[in-house]
Amino acid sequence: MRDLEKELQDSESYIKKLENELEKLNREKSQIENKECERRKELENLRSRKQDLLNELGIAENKDSNKLLNFYNICSEEKELISPYGITKWIDARVKVFLYALYLHQAFIENLAKQFKKNLSLSVNILKGKVPADNSIAWKMGFESLWITAPVISTTFASFSRLFAGLNKEDIGWLLIDEAGQAVPQEAVGAIWRSKRVVVVGDPLQLEPICNIPFVLEEKLAEKFGLQDERKKFFPTISSVQILADNATFIGTWIGEDSDSIWVGCPLRVHRRCSSPMFDISNKIAYKGLMIQGKREFRSSLPESCWYDVKGKKFKGNWVEEEGEKLKELLEELSELSELSELSKRGAIDITKDVFIISPFRDVVEKCREIVKEYGVNLNKIGTVHTTQGKEAEIVVIVLGGTTEGARAWAASKPNLLNVAVTRAKERIYIIGNVDVWKNKPHFCDCIKFFKKVRNDKLIYQPIQGGFSNERE
């Protein structure tokens, strides 16, 4: 009897255990079903979002098409923002034309293989310096064959005279000059003479050409040739390839007022690199509100753009010791963010790649190089403003320095330097410098207006109510 009772208890215990396991499995099953349901909903939402985006794409294309049809009835900003050549069908057709052009080149080369082999050998000999420059026929044949296989050849003005020495007037089909605002006119003469058509791209309101001709000599030459009133056009220390090209272009606009105004030919008004406040500062100090924001804003985990107000007492040249200490603090904060974002893989920033440190002064740059070594910042990402044009980074730190009135006056003499500095940054800018000594300087006084003091040593970016008009002031 006892044995039966024990067996019954064991059975009941086993049944209870099975019931518990069944209950546990049912709970797990329910959780899995709930997760499956959630995933199905997410999948449906994604499919719906995909369809919405496809519809938006179609609407956008139709919208651009409609805007083109009503081009003269839409506002100035909309005209600048539409992309008439960005419609999918147009792009597809353009790609096909390009591919068929390549097939044509391929067929041409294959059917004249022997002749091409000889001419390409001639091209190699030209590039090796084995063909004299006075044999212009050989040079032209060699480069024409080379251009069939490699339609675009890039070089610098310094190398151009050697690379194309044997070519004559208009032997080059198209010449594209980039960063023309930094090139002195005499550098481009030979290249322009050898080209049938020239496209000049640059910004006269960014860095100017570096020219060591004394101002007194410029004045004497201008007086001799009666060009005293044409300083902007012909003075080597002021003029550039871009300025001369702009002056030769009848389609354009004036930027600035009175004696400070400058004629810009065929201005490209839509800016797509920088978020605010970099866009706002640049648009205010250099372009008088003519630029149009073409970049979409997105939320970032980075600290807001700001100006660190550092009152320095320890100086060496243009270097301010206290500004260096503030740079260390900022790099510490960015390093911690870099580690956290790397762990979460969300909004990741890499301090070795995403940070650019710049200053108007060389001695400040050298001191910054010493500081950043322990933080892993790439030393190629540190330099003067003059070495950074054409480059960009997610974050830019501007260490102002400038311990004398003369140094600060030089940095603020034109909008170009500050304009280049702030527009290197895509998402955030951090300025380190004494507000009191910079706030009354030209262009910097406008820059400071975009920052609002939140504590004694820090001014945070604050959008100006109403912004700046896109009409000339």
pLDDT tens-digit readout, 208-240 = 887 788 878 888 888 888 877 776 677 777 789
- For residues 6-24, average pLDDT: 81
Residue 469 has what pLDDT?
40
Q: Which two tokens stand for residue 319?
A: 């270097």
Higher pLDDT, residue 250 or 230: 250
- For residues 307-325, average pLDDT: 93
Residue 66 has what pLDDT?
64
pLDDT tens-digit readout, 339-352 = 655 444 445 677 87
- For residues 353-376, average pLDDT: 91
Would you tell me how many other CB atoms lie within 10 Å of the CB of residue 358? 26
Supply the DSSP string of 57-117, one letter for each residue.
Answer: HHHHHHHHHHHHHTGGGS-HHHHHH--TT-SHHHHHHHHHHHHHHHHHHHHHHHHTHHHHH
- What backbone phi and psi angles, to 5 degrees, belong to 395? -125, 135
- For residues 1-22, average pLDDT: 78
Residue 341 has what pLDDT?
55
- For residues 450-454, average pLDDT: 89
Residue 376 binned pLDDT confidence (cut-offs 50, 70, 90): confident
Residue 472 has what pLDDT?
34
Residue 470 has what pLDDT?
40
Start-end of H helices in 82-214: 88-111, 113-127, 136-149, 157-163, 185-193
pLDDT tens-digit readout, 413-425 = 989 999 999 999 9
Distance CA 198, CA 189 (A): 11
Beta-carbon-side half-sphere exposure of residue 275 (alpha carbons within 13 Å): 17
3-state SS class at 444:
helix
User: Which of 281, 266, 143, 123 shows the shortest CA–CA distance to 202?
Assistant: 266
Residue 110 has what pLDDT?
93
Question: Residue 453: is its pLDDT beyond 70?
Answer: yes
**Residue 358, beta-bridge partner list:** 383, 398
Residue 339 has what pLDDT?
64
- For residues 41-57, average pLDDT: 77
Name the E strands within 224-346: 252-255, 262-265, 270-271, 292-293, 306-309, 315-316, 319-320
Residue 42 has what pLDDT?
83
- For residues 329-339, average pLDDT: 84
- For residues 385-393, average pLDDT: 87
Contact between 285 and 446 under an 8 Å Cβ cutoff? The reply is: yes
Share of residues in the chain with pLDDT > 70 (%): 89
User: Which of 353, 308, 241, 350 shows the shortest CA–CA distance to 461?
Assistant: 308
Residues 6+ apart with CB under 8 A from 447: 281, 284, 285, 418, 422, 431
Contact between 463 and 354 under an 8 Å Cβ cutoff? The reply is: no
Place of tokens 């004299």: 132
pLDDT tens-digit readout, 174-203 = 999 999 998 988 899 999 999 999 999 999
Q: Any idea which of 44-48, 263-267, 331-335 has the lowest mean pLDDT? A: 44-48
pLDDT tens-digit readout, 83-119 = 777 777 888 899 999 999 999 999 999 999 999 999 9
Higher pLDDT, residue 223 or 58: 223
Residue 471 has what pLDDT?
38
Which secondary structure element, helix H or strand E, spans residue 198, and what is its range? strand 195-200
Residue 132 is which amino acid?
A: P
